[in-house]
Amino acid sequence: MFSEAKGDSVQIAREYMDSLLVETRVVGAERPDTTFRFLGETFSTPVMTAALSHLDLVSMAAGAKQAGACVSIGMGGNGEMGEILATGAKVMKIIKPYADEKEILSRLEYAEENGALAVGMDVEHAVNTDDAEDSVVMGLQMKQPTLAELEKYIRHTKLPFFIKGALSVQDALRCRDLGAAGLVLSHHNGLTRFAVPPVMVLPEIRKAIGKDLLLIADGGIESGVDAFKALARGADAVTMGKALMGPLKENGADGVAETLRKATAQLQAMMIRTGTKNLKHMDPSVIWEPIGYRHG
Ligand SMILES: Cc1cc2nc3c(=O)[nH]c(=O)nc-3n(C[C@H](O)[C@H](O)[C@H](O)COP(=O)(O)O)c2cc1C
């Protein structure tokens, strides 16, 4: 039997993130620019909102828009998606791996017809954590999509398609071959026990796929310092989830905007301290990691 406490992937990811040290390169550093160009749009920051659900996502989107950030949204029907899109925020809709294909196709079609920026699927949420049963989420049955099904969903839409839950080179290569636009590297709040932290596996995935896929690091991003570490290790963007929930509850859209702006300011400070002039010049060699795990 494993230790449940030790197998908590959220905790493992936190400890790994905090073990990473940053080398300063301040001499002659230029004022950094956090402008983020993504899927033909320009954002003020590469810090996005995570694909949350069962919350006031309309205010979340309004706050992200205020801060010039891209929004991802999770489970929810087309009605809610419409209200979120009406805020004018740029939205990536992450669709659950529903067993009923109609649920997937209708959301893909709605997202495309109503101006979403991108879509995706959180494939990591198909099965339960501690048995091999398919999950039931909010009364809706999930199912692990086959490669053929995933390819069908990707081809069903003209929108860029992101696979959320890929966390290995094997999955990254498969997603690229299926025609995905990118990955959200995630273990979905520890759904997989003892999961390799996204920020740990990032450099290996980046090396394997080069620029073929956009990489978004998800999980445990609580500050601009965390964001900097993920970006330096090869992410194009990061998402912030739980860290936005308190500010959303307390101050609605303004709380979300303020938190995203603060994270972006912290990211900018880390960039100036490391001589990183913009997001295109992130350099993994500024990060020092303790010698520890090796891919076995
Ligand atoms: C309340 C809540 C609802 C979530 N709903 C979804 C969802 O519907 N779809 C999804 O892909 N992920 C969902 N997630 C997972 C988040 O997108 C994210 O992967 C996870 O929270 C880790 O990021 P964080 O540490 O920044 O929160 C949810 C997380 C929370 C806390």
Of 261, 175, 159, 158, which Cα lies nearest the Cα of 215? Answer: 175
Give the range of the structural domain holding residue 242, as residue numbers without chain letter: 9-286
User: What does the pLDDT read at residue 149?
Assistant: 97
Whether residue 66 lies inside any domain: the answer is yes
Of 238, 225, 194, 284, which Cα lies nearest the Cα of 13? Answer: 194
pLDDT band of 131, cuts 50, 70, 90: confident
DSSP β-bridge partners for residue 288? 21
pLDDT band of 223, cuts 50, 70, 90: very high
Pocket of ligand 1 (CB under 6 A): 50-54, 74-75, 94, 122, 164, 186, 188-189, 218-221, 240-243
Strand 237-240, strand 214-217: pairing:
parallel
Residue with CA closest to ligand 1 atom 19: 188
User: What does the pLDDT read at residue 4?
Assistant: 65
Residues composing the chain: 296
What CA–CA distances, in Å, run from 199 to 107, 229, 244? 30, 8, 20
Reported pTM? 0.97
Whether residue 157 lies inside any domain: the answer is yes
CATH assignment of the domain containing 137: 3.20.20.70
85-112 per-position pLDDT tens digit: 999 999 999 999 999 999 999 999 999 9
Is this complex scored with an ipTM above 0.90? yes
202-218 per-position pLDDT tens digit: 999 999 999 999 999 99
For residue 3, pLDDT over 80 is answered with no
33-65 per-position pLDDT tens digit: 999 999 999 999 999 999 999 999 999 999 999
User: What does the pLDDT read at residue 44?
Assistant: 98
For residue 250, pLDDT over 90 is answered with yes
For residue 1, pLDDT over 60 is answered with no
User: What does the pLDDT read at residue 129?
Assistant: 82
Distance CA 194, CA 6 (A): 8
**If you average pLDDT over each of 2-11, 86-95, 287-296, which comes out highest?**
86-95
Whether residue 130 lies inside any domain: the answer is yes
180-206 per-position pLDDT tens digit: 999 999 999 999 999 999 999 999 999
For residue 2, pLDDT over 70 is answered with no
For residue 258, pLDDT over 60 is answered with yes
User: What does the pLDDT read at residue 6?
Assistant: 78
User: What does the pLDDT read at residue 155?
Assistant: 98
Whether residue 292 lies inside any domain: the answer is no
Cα of 221 from ligand 1 centre, angstroms? 12
User: What does the pLDDT read at residue 130?
Assistant: 82
Residue with CA closest to ligand 1 atom 26: 241
| More confidently predicted of 31 and 235 | 235
Span 111-136, average pLDDT: 92
Whether residue 206 lies inside any domain: the answer is yes
pLDDT band of 127, cuts 50, 70, 90: confident
Domains identified in the chain, total number = 1
Whether residue 173 lies inside any domain: the answer is yes
Of 253, 255, 254, 256, which Cα lies nearest the Cα of 239? Answer: 256
Catalytic residues: 188
Residue with CA closest to ligand 1 atom 29: 52
Q: How far is CA 135 from the centre of its chain?
A: 21
Measured in Å, how far apart are the chain's first and last C-alpha atoms?
Answer: 22
